[in-house]
Chain A
Amino acid sequence: MLSRLEAKKPSLCHSEPLTAEKVRATLCVLKGILTSCYGPSGRLKQLHNSTGGSVCTTSQSAVLLRNLSVTHPILKILTASVQNHVSCFSDCGLFTAILCCNLIENVQKTDLTATTTIKLNTHLLNFCTSYLRSEACGCRIPVDFSNTQILLCLVRSILTSKPACMLTRKEIDHVSILILRAFLLIIPGNTEDPIILGKSIIVPLKGQRVTDSTVLPGVLIEMSEAQFMRVLPVRKSSPLKVALFSTSLSGDFSDLGEGCMVVSDGVSLENAVLDQLINLGRQLVSDHVDLVLCQKVIHPSLKQFLTLHHIVTIDRVGVMLMEPLSKVTGTQPIGSLGSVSPGSYGSVKDWCSAKFGWKHFFHLIPNEATVCSLLLCNRNDTAWDELKLTCQTALHALQLTIKEPWVLLGGGCTETHLAACIRHKIYKEPGSILQDDGCTQAELQLIAEAFCSALESLAGSLEHDGGETLTDMKYGHFWTIQAGPPSVVNWTDLLSRCGCGVYNSQEELSWSFLKSTCHPFVPQACLPHETEEIRPQSTHSLTLDCLTAKLSGLKVAVETANLILDLAYVIEDKN
């Protein structure tokens, strides 16, 4: 009590926090950590607590930022906004974080007032978003749902960009196909509006080979070996009748009310309840139920009774599986110990017990349902965790493409292309961006340069092995040269494909180094779906990004950067 009455300590107030050397240094460190993780060749980070606990190896922003404990309020804002973005879209977390850091860093070098930079940043962002959404956009591809090629490329790109999953090329192909199949299984067959997607449940199986992973329609319920042996392969005519209980069948009293309960001597409530349970069992038997599932616990006597009557019982299913189970079987979870309305029973086509690796599962095979189980294997815990997160990301990205059926070119090409577009726009018609806002053209040029180089160095951070990063002067795509022996005379011979894989170096292209300044040019919007017809084999290796996630990441990055640049004070409560 006394401690609560203690007077509060005054807060610390720092003015112009971004100018502080310490803040710049910490921002730089954070940026370094994030940049080194970016892309398929990103470096992995091992996170461990010196006081114990598990060690995790990752290169994903979601895991990294969750485990990093940042103390400075500005970093907190940055990481929180990236984490919030990731929890909304799953993808493009590192993109957002690095772009935000780059923007803050570049804008600070310009020495313009916060008002001007924020205004201009917002204008540039608006230009980018409207360009990416417009028909003229040269870095997006429409998704054709009748052809899985693009979707598969999208999934594969996401898997490739997470090196901590430790997958080989073959494994990536295998898992990509599984993910795509899992996605297609949850799309309902009837096309009513609105489309309600089903659910894909990821079932862990650690210690197995990745290629053992599989997708099954329906629900897998894990069970012990003893249970597994007991499940009799009852062969009956399909469909099989299922009852799903949400209430406990253990004979406990949960809602007796707030008052007292006086039990006379010799009266056994347990017996009373058990009688009731057996009555319920009799009803189930007479209703010809074949399978009883219970979220909570089933009383052993009732279990015994049901087994005697050749009814399979599975209890402790858990609340997480309730919704999928109810969907798969078409039952209504029963909440009553009294009479069960016949309408609340459901059915499945078949069930079987299956053994995957060292685990035993009870597999419910639905007649027609939008639930599937993705049995995911990986060699060790941390790699499995990473793979699971990646699969969720990929599934989410696929779902987002339903809403916006477009994908962006990945591999840094969208970034360099956007930068080229902005440069050209500023060069040609700066007035359309300025919109008489009281900013001068020189200011616009400075900020646009900061913005473009933030985008380009973001693309450049895909390269980690000391290679050169370039952009071509026709499409504005991103190219890298591997650092190799300097003996080669003509370095253009080292270029093979651009970052996204749409163009190869066979075309008559000229390149320029990303760090050098080049003359603004019109980035050509040669739509890749036209080239696809010419070179069908090229679509196989396209690197693609989810449009919705990337667009939102771009917006969040610029907004967060603006927010941080706008700070005049940081007031730290020291209580």
Chain B
Amino acid sequence: MAVSGSVKTALQVAEVLEAIVSRCVGPEGRQVLCTKPTGEVLLSRDGGRLLEALHLDHPIARIIVACVSSHLKKTGDGAKTFIIFLCHLLRGLHSITEKEKALILENTQTFERRWKNCCQWKCISQALLTFQTQILDCIMDQYLSRHFLSIFSASAKERTLCRSALELLLEAYFCGRVGRNNHKFISQLMCDYFFKCMTSKSGMEVFELVDDCFLELNINVTGLPVSESRIVDGLLLHRDFSVYCPADGDIRVAIVREIIQPVFSTSRSEFVVNSEAQFQASQIWIMERTKSVMKHLLNQNVKLLLSSVKQPDLVMYYARLNGISVVDCLSSEEVSVIQRIIGFTPLVLPQASLQCEISDTALVKFCKPFILRCKRYVHLGLISTCTFIPHCIILCGPVQGLVEQHENALYGAFKMLRQLFKDFDLNYVKKDNNQNDTLSPPIYKNCGKSNQLPKSYTQSIQRPYQDTGIKSNDELEETQYLKVHSNLVVSNVELETYTPCSPPKVTPTDAVHTDETWRCLPLENDRVIDDYELLIESNSISNSIIDNTRIEISYENFQIIDTAKKGSMLPVKYRSLDMCTSQSFCSSSIPAGCVLPVGGSFEILLHYYLLNYAKKCQQLEEIISKLIADALLGIPKILYKSKKGNHSFPQIYLRALHTLQTNQPMVRSQTGLESVTGKYHLLTSVLQCLTKILTIDLVINIKRHPQKNSDQDSDDELQH
């Protein structure tokens, strides 16, 4: 059986998925109960898990699910948005083709038509790819970047994480992940955990450690209300002491991976018994040896022995006699967590003598039993040698399914943060002075020729300095001159917008100078030119001092444009642009910690800039840009579906457009932040998925068992 792969079928599949997913998306989303074939019951709002649980049969659906899961592996977020966005893209494509089909004469042969179709799809998918790799990055960098906020406050020399910003970010994340009554609690828990585990020097390695060892760092307890969840200092091992001897003072810990008691013969060796006396002697030797090993450990002040294997009774006995606590049967993962935290290797017992000093021991603050709902755990106060301060999360919930959901959400949040804390390089290099750049319509060229652009477009670049400018001017004198200059004012919390890691060193006199210029900025046109010259001067100074950081330049850029608008002095603007771009010769990137407010602001912003971009494009590009821009709106549409009146989507959208056009600060109904990089990845993943779907023309169903020598993932491939 062969099914022609068309947009129509793909759309049908995507619409079904969208219908399911859209009920779980956003803060109003609801839970889904999944049962496993084993009878276990699982609760989830995680899109990826949901799609997996459906065990979809349709080949196109399986492509989509595969794309989603590969996206999730990368970012840990956005499965539901993925489906919604993809569905809207397909819907858009479908309506375009429907329109064109009406134009195509009916008398063409079927085969020909299909051939034509395929060519067309290929064209479109190629255009999508170009868009994704070139134009998208360009727009992100040129326009969107100015709206970015950062979760770091750049007050000191080094960037520090702003707690309130992180709280907002996590709250928004958990809003879509866990039940409505728990998301605040869980996000608070995560935030606490994060700040408890981090030191000032902590960096990516903490994320890596938590990411790798997440299962070992949390304990699940069922039967208690969720609100009993908490964080405990130190590490909890998922088992009880085999021997527990209370000890205080200096407690040293040693890890072993083998049985301490010697055995008669190891594998592939023989033990020859010649006489009964010999056998008895060897048994006695084994006992004495075990005894002396344990004595030796005690002499080295080892009070706690961690073992990855089960230790025999004899070892336990001597441990107890010597007052050494023993925890055995530890999983290799637990052992590796301990090793990573305290940074030493398991003890290898010396074969010959026991005189040597054992170097592979570490100090622990305490080791004691920890009782949680009648089950006993080992509680270790490890002293960390890395930047991770060990803490454990105890996750409680009435049922296992709910606890697992929270666990997965926490895990996903760490993945999301891990990505957020990395700079992300865009595939877009700013090399402006070369006039022969091959990149398709470069934005800055358009900037330069903005006098030819429609009015709305010019306005879009302009900044609301009428409003916020004054405020920042006041602050200029005492602080850096970069302060809140985004038009997105986050309620409750004052977020500082992104500033580069190295704060710009503008000489005070210059700053004051600029400041004054701003203040005496007259409305009369005749004095404007002087002001601009002053401004440019200051710009050139600052530009030469700062290390060509991209964001910085775009800031300068916009400042000039902004003033240019007031005086409508295009030549000045042109010059300033040239000057800026000539100095910025580095590749662009989304810096670490970039966030945008939740509630579709990323989508609306990108939608707006894409529409502007589309106005000056060729035919196919224009179609693609418009298509993507319209599809982007699908997500906020669903988010605001239940809202009425002033908070309904059309209202929000119109207001947003209005504020973008008139450069007023945006008023937002929701608090919360989301990662820009995550959104960006989502967009690219969806576009890649779409191109994948579009390039398929025929789905061939093979009714045969997959070959044994084929790959594990061949399941999917055989279907198409």
Residues of A bordering B, CB below 8 Å: 1-2, 5, 7-11, 13, 15, 17, 73-74, 76-77, 80-81, 83-89, 113-115, 118-119, 121-122, 246-247, 254-264, 267-269, 271-272, 275-276, 332-339, 341, 343-344, 552, 555-556, 559-560, 562-563, 566-575
Contacts and interface: CB of A to CB of B under 8 A. Distances in A.
A5 B435 CA distance: 58
Contacts of A254: 312
A275 B53 contact: no
Interface stretch (B396-404, B501-509, B539-547): B396-404
B3 to A, nearest CB: 17
Nearest to A245: B313
Contacts of B318: 335-336
Interface string B256-281: 00010101111111111111110110
Interface string B212-231: 00000000001111110000
Given A84-B399, A570-B32, 9 more contacts: A80-B400, A113-B642, A246-B317, A263-B273, A267-B275, A562-B181, A568-B30, A571-B32, A573-B36
Contacts of B39: 76
A454 B405 CA distance: 28
Interface stretch (B54-62, B407-415, B561-569): B54-62
B1 interface: no
B222 A84 contact: yes
Contacts of A86: 223
Nearest to A557: B398
A194 B28 CA distance: 46
A107 B364 CA distance: 52
A333 B279 contact: no
B332 interface: no
Contacts of B617: none
B398 A85 contact: yes
B180 to A, nearest CB: 6
B244 to A, nearest CB: 11
A76 B398 CA distance: 12
A271 B280 CA distance: 10
Contacts of B280: 272, 275-276
A255 B263 CA distance: 7
Contact of A555 (B225, B266, B268): B225
Contact of A575 (B37, B50, B265, B708): B37
B398 A560 contact: yes
19 contacts: A9-B55, A10-B56, A76-B41, A80-B41, A80-B398, A80-B399, A83-B223, A84-B223, A257-B265, A257-B266, A258-B265, A262-B273, A269-B273, A276-B283, A332-B317, A339-B287, A562-B179, A570-B32, A573-B34
Given A80-B400, A272-B279, A559-B226, A262 B271 contact: yes
B321 A344 contact: yes
B58 to A, nearest CB: 9
A254 B315 CA distance: 14
Contact of A267 (B37, B274, B284, B287): B274
Contacts of B313: 246-247, 335-336
A256 B34 contact: no
Task: With a 10 A CB-CB cut-off, give which of A7, A17, A563, A572 has the most chain B CB atoms.
Answer: A563
Closest 5 CB pairs of A and B: A259-B265, A257-B263, A335-B317, A84-B223, A335-B313
A256 B267 CA distance: 11
Nearest to A272: B276
Contacts, number: 234
Nearest to B27: A115
Contacts of A119: 180-181
B705 interface: yes
A8 B36 CA distance: 12
Contacts of B705: 2, 5
A292 to B, nearest CB: 16
Nearest to A326: B320
B223 A87 contact: yes
B321 A563 contact: no
B55 A10 contact: yes
B401 to A, nearest CB: 7
Contacts of B179: 118, 562-563, 566
B30 A343 contact: no
A40 to B, nearest CB: 25
Contacts of B275: 264, 267
A562 to B, nearest CB: 5
B317 A552 contact: no
Given A259-B271, A267-B275, A567 B33 contact: yes
A118 B276 contact: no
